[in-house]
């Protein structure tokens, strides 16, 4: 398990800017294998203005993005494999959006790396709110091969 300051450093591996980061903090990280994180729905996110007026909720596509961001942090933290430049979500399989999150709720994310092949990472992710699963998804992340040293 990784110490607190290392969790913050791992979170900084995300290339996303503040307006498109759906991972506020890491709760645990088993480098290169699995991780648990959280995103707090604040209620002031720009996408909530239109999704949906009077009944704001996290779009399912952004739940998938949040799971992919956590999977990316897990993959990029592998002590045996250097981080890949430009790692991004390249495929989604078996996505089940079973619910959503509303302002004031905390989304708990879990991701596990299932395997790697070259510059591709296979992972699975889940999201839950108040102990209720709202997302299950299989992800493929792809990046440029790490620079040769």
Residues serving a catalytic function are 51
Report the alpha-carbon distance of residue 18 to residue 39 in Å, rounded: 12
Of 88, 105, 64, 78, residue with least CA distance to 14: 88
Name, in order, each residue with C-beta under 8 angstroms of 126's C-beta and a sequence gap of 6 or more.
67, 109, 110, 111, 133, 135, 136, 137
* Tokens at 111, concatenated: 């991701």
């Amino acid at each position: 398990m990784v110490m607190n300051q290392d969790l913050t450093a791992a979170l900084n591996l995300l290339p996303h800017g503040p307006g498109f980061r759906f991972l506020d903090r890491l709760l645990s990280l088993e480098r290169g294998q699995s991780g648990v994180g959280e995103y707090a729905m604040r209620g002031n996110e720009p996408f909530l203005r239109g999704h949906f007026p009077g009944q704001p909720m996290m779009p399912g596509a952004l739940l998938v993005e949040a799971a992919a961001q956590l999977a990316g942090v897990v993959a990029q933290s592998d002590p045996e494999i250097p981080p890949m430049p430009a790692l991004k979500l390249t495929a989604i399989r078996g996505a089940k959006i079973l619910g959503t999150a509303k302002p004031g709720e905390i989304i708990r994310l879990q991701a596990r790396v299932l395997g790697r092949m070259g510059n591709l990472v296979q992972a699975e992710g889940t999201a839950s709110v108040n102990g209720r699963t709202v997302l299950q998804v299989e992800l493929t992340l792809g990046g440029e091969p790490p620079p040769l040293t």
